[in-house]
Amino acid sequence: MNGEFVAAMEDVLELYAEPDDPKRPRVNFDECSVELHKDARPPEPAGPGRPARVDYEYERNGTANLFVVVDPTAGRRHVTVTERRTKADFARQMKALCDDLYPDADRVRVVLDNLNTHTPGALYETFEPAEARRLAAKLEFHYTPKHASWLNMAELELSVLARQCLNRRIPDAAALMAEVAAWQAARNRDRVKIEWCFKIADARKKLRRVYPQQTPAAVH
């Protein structure tokens, strides 16, 4: 198990260390669920000598899913709100990644986790064979090891999104879309980048315990 963990980790770290190549962009992909909460009672606006009042009680109003694509070196991110996160939803995200976000790329290298929906097979279950093959040929998946989601820079972006945008009462999917779109536009306008500093050499030194122990060669 440790060997598989190390191999996947070093694959991702090696990808992060490569120089930028516009024809072969590196992006990070992740997703999360968001609970929607609406007010149990209408808020009362502020009046003369009285502040606005919002009841602390709320009603659950279902959930929504967020897909996020991050280009950390370009300072660009794209967030999509969906009802679900099925294989078909994932496949449609990969199609948009290829055709809308990076239409001129020869290959798009995607760092993502090991969810059972995140597979090339999802493309074939969603699209006609020729279309699925076209997309699969343009995509190159690099999976983070299990229990090591910290290696995915999209998780960092989702953490920022949660703190800056989602830490409030959002009543429905339409409001969520509007909030996320405003946040995304501001981050992209400012070209906020992610500088990844953890290298393979750091991993071999600081995470030595996860590396398989070498057995001394037998002496004959």
Q: Which domains does the chain have, with CATH numbers?
A: 2-37+58-210 (3.30.420.10)
How many Å apart are CA 88 and CA 86, to the nearest integer? 5
**pLDDT tens-digit readout, 57-68:** 667 879 999 999
Q: Is the model's pLDDT at 220 over the cut of 60?
A: no
Q: Is the model's pLDDT at 199 over the cut of 90?
A: yes
Which residues are paired to 109 by β-bridges?
26, 140
Q: Which residues contact 216 (CB under 8 A, 6 or more apart)?
A: none
How many Å apart are CA 46 and CA 25, to the nearest integer? 50
Average pLDDT of the chain? 91
**pLDDT tens-digit readout, 66-125:** 999 999 999 999 999 999 999 999 999 999 999 999 999 999 999 999 999 999 999 999
- CA 111, distance to chain mean position in Å, is 9
Spatial contact of 142 and 118, defined as CB atoms under 8 Å apart: no
H/E element holding 59? strand 58-71
Residue 149 tokens, joined: 């989601």
Residue 115 tokens, joined: 């969810």
Q: What percent of the chain has pLDDT over 90?
A: 80
Residue 72 tokens, joined: 């950390």
How many Å apart are CA 10 and CA 16, to the nearest integer? 10
Res 87: pLDDT: 97
When pLDDT is cut at 50, 70 and 90, the band that residue 168 belongs to is: confident
